[in-house]
Chains A and B, each alone.
Chain A
Amino acid sequence: MRKALMAMLTLVAVLLVACGGNDENTIQFWTPLTGDDGAYMDQLVEDYNATEPEIEVKHIITSDMYTKMYTVLNSGNGIPDLSIIHADRVPSFVNQDLLKPMTEIMEAQPELNADNYIEEAWSAGEVDGTQFTIPLDIHGSAMYYNQDLLEKYGVEHWLDDNVVTFDEMLSLQGQLEEGDYVLNDALLSWVLLAQIQNLGGDIQENGEPAVNTDAMRESIEAVKELADAGLMTPYGEDGYLMFQSGNVLFSTDGTWSSTGHAQVEDLNFGVTNIYAFEPDTFHNRSSAHLFAMLTNEERSEEKEQGIADFLEFVRANSIEWAEAGQIVASQDVIESPDYENYMQSFFTSSQEQEESLHIYTYEHYPYVQEAMDNYVADLVHGEMDIDTGLEEMQKFVEDKVAEGSLDMENTELLDEDELEEELSEE
């Protein structure tokens, strides 16, 4: 009987340990790419493995990736060899010492260098002169237009300079048929983040979060003017869907939406920049998918060589990734003639366009965006007073920064060793 009990306990223990298995001969590659994106990445990985590399890549999609990363980093067990993280995570990951620099990877494959990638995507992975990531893509705000509606209202010329302005949109006030709108409020916080750049503002001041600023207020008030004029799809309604059903001239959503819009029958659409104040100053708030290596001392040199080979393969062959609607970061790909067939090639069609892509690299950017996501729709649609909203947003970010960043002043009661002891006792 005792034996049976022991056997059972052993079995449970084995099962628990087996969950964290680490294979020497495969590169464990984690991504947060769910849906179609994941399928395109699967294809890329499959193509790479078909070249019979020494170490194969195993693509693992984890929808809750960052949470799982924290778990494995904490336990030190099952840390992935390679992963894709978003640009806005880089500063805080580097600050917490969670990323291994790409130095050796870049030495192993010399083509993995700044010249071969879109500048904004490359520099998103650079902190204090050290390169921590290799970019896969840039993705971000894009504004889709409904060609038929532009013709119906005779405003195709708005697109002549590739920038639709606030004034141009306001000129349609009172001239729309019932049920038609000039723009929707999809990804509104990203639109506002672009306006802040257009106004020369920022979301930080000397490292401190700056949300309650003149630039933020001016941006919100300008967009609110569009909403007040009845040009924006109403509060709480699905503006994305209304664009697809052909009632909205402009949809401010993401580069990846082109694949979704393309599936809608009879939707005659194209892509342009997010609207701006002036035609010569425009930005599109962007993010990037970046290859990164979490800190892990057990990663062998052979594996690093394998990672370098895989990243070089992706650099040369990621046209597949354009299918997902993303702006591929590799210059080789975006300069290839095939890439022009993809709608998002618009954003890399000129130097000026490339410079319009703006990635916020402020350490606490994620908190700022969270605050904006919580508040801006209410502010723009007049559901909440702008002054109050700005104050609450500023407070929201400051409180999160104060709690979220571990300041060592709080450790007076216990030092780290004591804490570890206490933990092991539990």
Chain B
Amino acid sequence: MKEHGKFAPLFFVGPHIILFIVFILIPSIYGIYASFTNWNLIGSPEWVGLDNYKTILADTDSTFYSQFFNGMLNTLIFVGLSVPLMIIIPLMIAVALEHKEVKFTSLFQTLIYIPGLVSISAAALIWSLIFNKQLGVVNNMFGSEHVWAATQPYAWITIIVITVWAGIGGNMIIYRAGINGVSKDLYESAEIDGAGPIRKFWNVTLPSIKFPLIYTMVMTTAGAFNVFAQPLMMTDGGPRQSTTVLMMYIRDLAFSHGESIAGVASAMAVMLGLVLLVISAIQYYIMNKNATT
């Protein structure tokens, strides 16, 4: 029995720990190591110290410098545009579905959730046809004359539209679960105190679902920083590399034409990871601070 007690926890966490070590921890450490090397994925990596970081952060003449900063800028634009929408829209839908007079809530919930289950590549093909100048609904029905994928700001709009379309369902489910957990008493007492719907939302709903909010905000931001498929499929990074996000440069450097430049790619990935880490930490800090006051 004593034996049992000792090993049981290990048995339960074991599989996860093993998978975590094999598929996340070791690759991450190796990735960080690779960022200090010159490596083509085949030979032995050559240690070059901080050279890769110097190149992407300080060597203003280098292609990799401009790729890194252009990629980072575009990634930040994407995060800045998509994350607020991915939080606010699902929250509004979740609140709206709580209204007493809304019928078929499960149906709406399902309809909004389904796009998230469609493979992003398949979805991107459909959406690029919707925005296609000759065949697309957008141009033919609404009389738009733009080549969406090749003109700004329309290129960004197509990317944001598909992202929001595919992404709001997941967050909405979390918010609905959170709102369902809020005690009805709170709403009733708020009503007795004369609070209207908006007041109830700000003073009852929002404070009560703080933790789902922190969670979705951090996860959505992390996901947005790793954006890759939408711009690749919708605009291929154009026009003039204005929608080429950092992950696209990283992938092109490591796994595209010609000999791999995995060292610089890893350095870019590490920098992306650091930015993400800092931003997530700040988010946690701000939200937690608010949660305790």
Which of A124-132, A259-267, A412-420 lies at the binding interface? Answer: A412-420
A234 touching B259 by the CB < 8 A rule?
A: no
What residue in chain A is nearest B155 (Cβ atoms)?
A236
Partner pick for A1 among B8, B47, B63, B147, CB 8 A cutoff: B8
CA distance A419 to B261 in the complex (A): 18
In the assembled complex, B87 has its CB within 8 A of some CB on chain A: no
CA distance A321 to B58 in the complex (A): 51
Partner pick for B239 among A74, A88, A96, A236, CB 8 A cutoff: A236
CB-CB contacts of B146-181 with A at 8 A, as 1s and 0s? 010111000000000000000000000000000000
In the assembled complex, B43 has its CB within 8 A of some CB on chain A: yes
A74 touching B134 by the CB < 8 A rule?
A: no
State how many residues of chain A have any CB contact under 8 Å with chain B.
Answer: 57
A396 touching B257 by the CB < 8 A rule?
A: no
CA distance A423 to B43 in the complex (A): 13
CA distance A69 to B14 in the complex (A): 31
Which of A27-35, A41-49, A167-175, A237-245 lies at the binding interface? Answer: A237-245
CA distance A399 to B252 in the complex (A): 14
- The answer to whether A399 and B258 touch (CB under 8 A), given A5-B11, A411-B46, A426-B33, is no
Which of B34-42, B94-102, B193-201 lies at the binding interface? Answer: B34-42
In the assembled complex, A94 has its CB within 8 A of some CB on chain B: no
A96 touching B40 by the CB < 8 A rule?
A: yes
A242 touching B38 by the CB < 8 A rule?
A: no
In the assembled complex, B143 has its CB within 8 A of some CB on chain A: no
In the assembled complex, A73 has its CB within 8 A of some CB on chain B: yes
- The answer to whether A369 and B44 touch (CB under 8 A), given A237-B133, A426-B33, is no
Contacts of A71 in B (CB 8 A): 41
B132 touching A384 by the CB < 8 A rule?
A: no
In the assembled complex, A98 has its CB within 8 A of some CB on chain B: yes
Contacts of A242 in B (CB 8 A): 134
B149 touching A403 by the CB < 8 A rule?
A: no
In the assembled complex, B83 has its CB within 8 A of some CB on chain A: no
- The answer to whether A370 and B258 touch (CB under 8 A), given A70-B42, A237-B150, A419-B47, is yes
Q: Could you tell me the distance in whole angstroms from the C-beta of A214 to the nearest C-beta in chain B?
A: 23
- The answer to whether A92 and B44 touch (CB under 8 A), given A1-B8, A242-B134, is no
Q: Could you tell me the distance in whole angstroms from the C-beta of B71 to the nearest C-beta in chain A?
A: 13
What residue in chain A is nearest B133 (Cβ atoms)?
A237
In the assembled complex, A176 has its CB within 8 A of some CB on chain B: no
Partner pick for A404 among B18, B30, B49, B258, CB 8 A cutoff: B258
In the assembled complex, A50 has its CB within 8 A of some CB on chain B: no
CA distance A165 to B135 in the complex (A): 31
B4 touching A410 by the CB < 8 A rule?
A: no
Q: Interface centre among B15, B18, B256, B259, by most A CB within 10 Å?
A: B259
In the assembled complex, A153 has its CB within 8 A of some CB on chain B: no
Contacts of A370 in B (CB 8 A): 252, 256-258
Contacts of B30 in A (CB 8 A): 426
What residue in chain B is nearest A407 (Cβ atoms)?
B38
CB-CB contacts of A84-112 with B at 8 A, as 1s and 0s? 00001000100010100000000000000
B42 touching A404 by the CB < 8 A rule?
A: no
Contacts of A64 in B (CB 8 A): 255
Nearest first, the 4 A-B pairs at minimum CB distance are: A236-B150, A366-B258, A366-B257, A399-B63
Excluding A96-B259, A419-B46, A423-B44, 4 further A-B contacts by CB distance (< 8 Å) are A1-B7, A236-B238, A367-B258, A400-B258
Name B's A-contacting residues (CB within 8 A): 3-4, 6-8, 10-11, 14-15, 18, 22, 26, 29-30, 33, 38, 40-49, 51, 55, 61-64, 132-135, 147, 149-151, 238-241, 252, 255-261, 263-264
